[in-house]
Amino acid sequence: MRIAAFFYQDQPHVGLVSQDLLSVTPFDLPLADRELGALTLVDALSRGEALPAQGAAISLSDVQLRAPLPHPRRNIFCVGKNYHAHAKEFARSGFDSSAKAGGEIPAEPIIFTKVPECVIATGEAIEMPKVSTAIDYEAELAVIIGKGGKGITKADAMKHVWGYTIVNDITARDWQNKHMQWHMGKSFDTFCPMGPWLVSADEMDGTNTNVRCYVNGEERQNAATPDLIFDIPTLVETLSAGITLYPGDVIATGTPVGVGIGFTPPKYLKSGDVVRVEIDGIGVLENPVK
């Protein structure tokens, strides 16, 4: 299934997207639950509950999509340098405070987080901050946790994956470098476009899909998730070793080669650009820059 959060007639709703992607059928939920987007449904489905009653279908062209999880319950877990070619390009960039000579490929997953407040929807603008001149894009497959847990093994990890969405891990490279950690430069307002909806794991295979990114129509990134250094089961096992995971938790799995900092000279985002991320099996996340 595909679950979308959206506004219709100035009211928040959550609904099931049709297979032809032409309409969405809203669920009968209290306003407080609708405000949370798909989170309440992921929670309920993870407990084995049935879907709520549904209303009449609405044309997708008549709604305004929100981020599927507009208010994540906590920070988004992110993974740095998780494709081989990207790890090497970032280590060469001079902006990677984590790189050591000869150690461009990490031996263990590099985990950081983005604050929930930086999430925006497809179509919303990525805002250029006045305090940075090095804003970059990072197209990523994001895993949505279903059944929570702690100490989850790799063998059981996929049983805890509810589904997937797209995340664009926008980054202020200069802040990422000067603060010697990644949280600050990753968490500016509007720095986490997410969407267009959640797709359940029975609809697509996140372990074998393709991630692409375009800036103003120019292809910048194109890779397959089998190329991940640390696969989805490894990420779930690593995070849950000491942290309890909950339904609706988001894990952004890392970005492929082709980010702006990897070019000579760097191709940073600027006002007027349009960034488009495509992942097979999910759809399109597109955002203007202003």
**Containing H/E element for 251?**
strand 250-252
> What are 239-262's pLDDT values in tens digits?
999 999 999 999 999 999 999 999
Positive or negative: CA dihedral 160, 211, 14, 51: negative
d(CA 280, CA 128): 29
d(CA 211, CA 160): 22
Q: What is the dihedral of CA 235, 245, 181, 138, to 10 degrees?
A: 60
DSSP for residue 188: S
Lowest mean pLDDT among 26-35, 88-97, 120-129, 130-139: 88-97
Whether 197 and 121 have beta carbons less than 8 Å apart is answered as: no
Q: What is the pLDDT of residue 94?
A: 65
% of the chain beyond a pLDDT of 90? 89
Q: What is the pLDDT of residue 182?
A: 86
d(CA 263, CA 278): 21
pLDDT at 96 over 50: yes
DSSP string, 111-179: EEEE-GGGEE-TTSPBPPPTT-S-EE--EEEEEEE-S-BSS--TTTGGGGEEEEEEEE--EEHHHHHHT
Q: What is the pLDDT of residue 23?
A: 98
Mean pLDDT to the nearest integer, 53-82: 97
∠ CA 110-287-239, rounded to 5°: 20
What pLDDT band is residue 101 in, cutting at 50, 70 and 90? very low
Beta bridge partners of 247: none
Average pLDDT, the chain: 95
Mean pLDDT to the nearest integer, 162-169: 98
The structure's pTM equals 0.95
Mean pLDDT to the nearest integer, 31-54: 96
> What are 220-245's pLDDT values in tens digits?
999 999 999 999 999 999 999 999 99
